[in-house]
Amino acid sequence: MDRFEILNEPTGTYSIFDRFTELPATAGGKTFIGLYRHEVPLALLAIMEAFRPGAGSLLPSLAVLGGWRQQNDLKDHQSDGLQA
């Protein structure tokens, strides 16, 4: 459970972040941000199920990285011409 962090947002809602990827946790196509307090336990269960051994991708939260970077107009600044 040390991989995930529950953050209380200024709006009074909660987000679950993946400490490994430093992105909002994602499971089953849902990103866990803007949760109400009563939604957090079920969200944690969904995340833990997605991250259990043999559940598929080891880093499902990274699937949102490309879209998040594009949505926030972030560009890769690599001098060697390679793209991540």
Indicate whether 84 pLDDT > 60: no
Q: How many residues does the chain have?
A: 84
Q: For the residues 11-36, what does the mean pLDDT come to?
A: 93
CA distances 26 to 11, 39, 41, 76, 84, Å, are 21, 14, 14, 22, 20
Instruction: Answer yes or no: are the C-beta atoms of 13 and 31 closer than 8 Å.
Output: no
Tell me the chain's radius of gyration from C-alpha atoms. 14
Interatomic CA distance for residues 16 and 34, integer angstroms: 9
* Amino acid at residue number 22: E
Q: What is the pLDDT of residues 36-82, one digit of tens each?
A: 999 999 999 999 888 877 655 545 455 445 555 555 555 554 444 54
pTM comes to 0.61
